[in-house]
Amino acid sequence: MSARSFYVLAYDLANDRRRQKIARLMEAIGSRVQGSVFEAYLTSSELELLVKKSGKIMVMKEDSLRVYVLCADCRAKVWAIGLGKITPPPGVMVV
């Protein structure tokens, strides 16, 4: 099994219907930390599948999805002010 990396995923979709579809997709793989921002621990194959599924929903001339990978050292430097907490690494995962 390949290692999981920490990702920050942010989208901006022009259409409510597409936005709802992307939100459901993101909710299935990560934690919502802002309206259209998610944090997730993903393998490279999970990320590839997420990008592929997102591409089928999005209209490239109108929408955007940004994917930021944070190394362990960078993740340790992330902090939150106010409500919410940084998404912790996954424990034992049963698939």
Domains of the chain: 5-76 (3.30.70.240)
* Alpha-carbon span 58 to 49, nearest angstrom: 14
| pTM as predicted | 0.85
Rounded alpha-carbon distances, angstroms, from residue 76 to 39, 53, 71? 14, 30, 9
- What pLDDT, on the 0 to 100 scale, is given for residue 92? 53
Q: What are phi and psi of 82, to 5 degrees?
A: 85, -150
Tokens 């390949």 belong to 2
Residues with pLDDT less than 70, the chain: 1, 92-95
